[in-house]
Chains A and B, each alone.
Chain A
Amino acid sequence: MLRTEEITLNMGPQHPSTHGVFHVVLKMDHEVITEARPICGYLHRGIEKLAEARTYTQFIPYTDRLDYLAAMLNNTGYVQAVEKLMEIEVPERAEYIRVICCELSRIASHLIAVGTYSVDIGGITGFMYCLRDRERIMDLFEMVCGSRLTLSYMRIGGVAEDLPDEFIPALCQFLDEMPSRLDEYDGLITGNEIFQARTKHVGLLDPGVAINYGISGPNLRASGVFWDLRKNRPYSVYDRFDFEVPLGKRGDCFDRFTCRIKEMRQSLKIIRQAVEQLPEGPVMAKVPKVLKPPAGDVYHEIEGAKGILGYYVVSDGSNKPYRIHVRRPSFINLGFLNELCKGWKIADVVAILGSLDIVLGEVDC
């Protein structure tokens, strides 16, 4: 009988499939995982601390750097929290523009999730297709605010500028073409036998456990839990749109993946309705030049691309926040990683981690 022993494998921080500088210490019995200890913090920038030395408006660009794949959503979450604290009424048009931009951001984020997941499973072609279409969203954002990734488009009280004239036609063209692109992904990635063999029944997430661990977003909904803040606790103007919340059945990697593809279709539906209903008017509320929210605290959460994105803002009445804390969905979704990976193979760790769709900017804040 040969002597065997477990090996410890450092997966990351430099590893192509950890989606950034994320580190998992794997204990393995040959290829089977017995323990997966996540280590994060390699990208820690102390954004929450930095906020204390910035004014309320100056903090907006920092939110871009959290989940840099869905910057609009991060902006929105923060500015809405401050608006709630200051009780600012945002003009109708600004709300609709926010919805359009947020949903575009959600699609962009899910495109990256879908594409990188395809690479994680081993098919590189899917990634290129997703990036090709994400590029168009980047172009749309460039029209809106001149920036492609770190957008900082939202302002406390509205949005930075009105939509340019060429934006709506370009957006409509995108909306017309995108459904067929999603069908293409279904054909190339979702429908593939090997892809299904790799992802179905892998990394099962029980709905009860998912709720206990605070997992949110597509990861929670893939387990069959109906929890989408846009529906359950509508903020902004989300109660005016007709859309569905896609749910999974088993809560495996495949469900988490397909949930994202289905959500993109729903986002397209929301954007289309928002474009149709888009009212005229100002895009910025009347807010003072120097923002001094009343002393107090506020917690506001929105449905981010990765899950529930919450901002806790404490004000001491000065022009700088006393404390800001961000509930980062990527970080909280990682909490159950060890249990999810146990007993699976090393290739499944990549599949599970990819299906959770983390962004390291958000994990480490």
Chain B
Amino acid sequence: MVENIFVGFAEWLRSLLAAAGLPALFGDIVLMIVKVAGILAFIAISVLWIVYMERKMAAYFQARIGPNRVGPRGLLQTAADMGKLISKEIIIPRAADKIVFLLMPVLIFVPSLLLFAVVPFGKNMIAVDLNVGVFYFFAVASVSTIIFWAGGWASANKYALIGAMRAVAQMISYEVPMVLAILGVIMIVGSMKMSDIINAQQNVWFIFTQPVAFIIYVIAATAETNRTPFDLLEGESEIIAGPFIEYGGMGFAMWFLAEYANLILVSVLATTLFLGGWLAPFGLTFIPSWVWFLLKIYFMIWVFMWFRWTYPRIRVDQLMNFGWKVLVPLSLANIFVTGIGMFIYRAIGW
């Protein structure tokens, strides 16, 4: 019952529309709108919650209490902050490229939103189960690099420019090992469809068969989301806020929220590819699949936060060295070993 609450709702809606004598196309459109609304609500609520969670966790890591004034246990803190940021004046630097400057904080959300289309929230709960799901994911995710860069460039600030340049260098460099690491999984599954990848993990999660790929993925994902120890793009102690330095009020909030949306997305991908997606471990199937999925992504988010509040920041040349000289060869070796493993596996004929 709980397991199928969302799927059941969709089917009920579809049958209701069919019973009203409306054409199937109309039903599809309505359902699509419902899905989009559902995903938007999910993003909005999750992001608000994750910002709160991050602040609270950071506080506990640092022997503090954290937000505890607005609402019960400070739960409304993020909402209050958003209210404050919305009400602020939007300041545009005189030298800035106005159109690009104002457009980029809006556009930064577009790739994140598009990516949620292929997120497998639970059994039969993917908005669009593309047959190139993983490929689509990376293709769209890399678009955000341009947006970061354009935002930094348009600010007409040297700190923003340095940050923007770093963003391009870092995100492109770390996309390579990330994709290469995931190839191992795709080789085993033989499909890039999200649901296929999850179903292939019925017996054993890929974190156990592809541990190196998982580690590379987590490292590269930290870099992709610009979080410590790879938060060079922001680098608050050297270039202050990087591309976001000139943004205030809601412009800044958009960058900020997009960062957390990206955090959810990389956790989603880690869960899907390595942690068995919605599959229940130890046969605990009485807990609905979507609850498992949420638990797993929140575990990954927690890991990323743990990194952030423990590690210092790496330097820009060390970042490049690490990416190209350690992660890329390692991920190539992983593909090679996976290939040999698969060959032997088939030759023995298990």
User: A residues touching B (Cβ–Cβ < 8 Å)?
Assistant: 7, 9, 15-17, 30-31, 118-126, 128-129, 132, 188-189, 192, 194-195, 197-198, 345-350
Q: How far, in whole Å, are A252 and B228 apart by their CA atoms in the complex?
A: 24
Residues of B within 8 A of A188 (CB): 310
Nearest Cβ in chain B — how far from A178, in angstroms? 15
Q: How far, in whole Å, are A118 and B232 apart by their CA atoms in the complex?
A: 16
Contact indicator B314/A194 (Cβ below 8 Å): yes
16 A–B pairs (Cβ distance < 8 Å), ordered by A: A7-B158, A9-B159, A16-B236, A31-B162, A121-B313, A122-B231, A122-B312, A124-B58, A125-B62, A125-B309, A128-B64, A188-B310, A194-B313, A198-B318, A346-B239, A347-B235
| The one of B63, B232, B239 that contacts A128, using a Cβ cutoff of 8 Å | B63
| The one of B58, B236, B316 that contacts A345, using a Cβ cutoff of 8 Å | B316
Contact indicator B238/A350 (Cβ below 8 Å): yes
Contact indicator B237/A121 (Cβ below 8 Å): yes
| The one of B162, B311, B312 that contacts A346, using a Cβ cutoff of 8 Å | B162
* Chain B, range 194-212, C-beta contacts under 8 Å to A: none
| The one of B64, B235, B310, B315 that contacts A123, using a Cβ cutoff of 8 Å | B310
Residues of B within 8 A of A198 (CB): 312-315, 318
Contact indicator B309/A347 (Cβ below 8 Å): no
Q: How far, in whole Å, are A125 and B34 apart by their CA atoms in the complex?
A: 42
Number of residues of chain B lying within 8 A (CB) of chain A: 29
Residues of B within 8 A of A119 (CB): 237
Of B231, B235, B239, the most chain A CB neighbours within 10 A belong to B239
Nearest Cβ in chain A — how far from B144, in angstroms? 22
Interface string of B299-315 (1 = CB under 8 A from A): 00000000001111111
Q: Does B317 make an interface contact (CB < 8 A)?
A: yes
Apart from A345-B316, A347-B237, list 5 A-B contacts with CB within 8 A: A124-B62, A128-B63, A195-B312, A198-B314, A347-B235
Given the contacts A9-B158, A128-B63, A347 and B238 also touching, CB distance less than 8 Å: yes
Residues of A within 8 A of B232 (CB): 347
Residues of B within 8 A of A118 (CB): 312
Interface string of B152-193 (1 = CB under 8 A from A): 000000110010010000000000000000000000000000
Q: Does B240 make an interface contact (CB < 8 A)?
A: yes
Residues of B within 8 A of A9 (CB): 158-159, 162
Residue of A nearest to B231 (CB): A122
| Majority-rule SS of A interface residues | helix
User: B residues touching A (Cβ–Cβ < 8 Å)?
Assistant: 58, 61-64, 158-159, 162, 165, 228-229, 231-232, 235-240, 309-318
Residues of A within 8 A of B63 (CB): 128-129, 132
Residue of A nearest to B317 (CB): A345
Residue of A nearest to B62 (CB): A128
Residue of B nearest to A121 (CB): B312
Given the contacts A128-B62, A194-B229, A345 and B315 also touching, CB distance less than 8 Å: yes
Nearest Cβ in chain A — how far from B122, in angstroms? 35
Q: How far, in whole Å, are A132 and B61 apart by their CA atoms in the complex?
A: 13
Contact indicator B312/A129 (Cβ below 8 Å): no
Q: How far, in whole Å, are A126 and B314 apart by their CA atoms in the complex?
A: 16
Q: How far, in whole Å, are A198 and B162 apart by their CA atoms in the complex?
A: 19
Contact indicator A347/B158 (Cβ below 8 Å): no
Residues of B within 8 A of A347 (CB): 232, 235, 237-238, 313, 315-316
Contact indicator A122/B228 (Cβ below 8 Å): yes
Residues of A within 8 A of B313 (CB): 121-123, 194, 198, 347
Q: How far, in whole Å, are A123 and B62 apart by their CA atoms in the complex?
A: 11
Of B232, B313, B317, the most chain A CB neighbours within 10 A belong to B313
Contact indicator A349/B238 (Cβ below 8 Å): yes
Contact indicator A192/B159 (Cβ below 8 Å): no
Q: How far, in whole Å, are A126 and B58 apart by their CA atoms in the complex?
A: 12
Contact indicator A125/B237 (Cβ below 8 Å): no
Nearest Cβ in chain B — how far from A190, in angstroms? 11
Nearest Cβ in chain A — how far from B167, in angstroms? 13
Residues of A within 8 A of B309 (CB): 124-125
Residues of A within 8 A of B314 (CB): 122, 194, 197-198
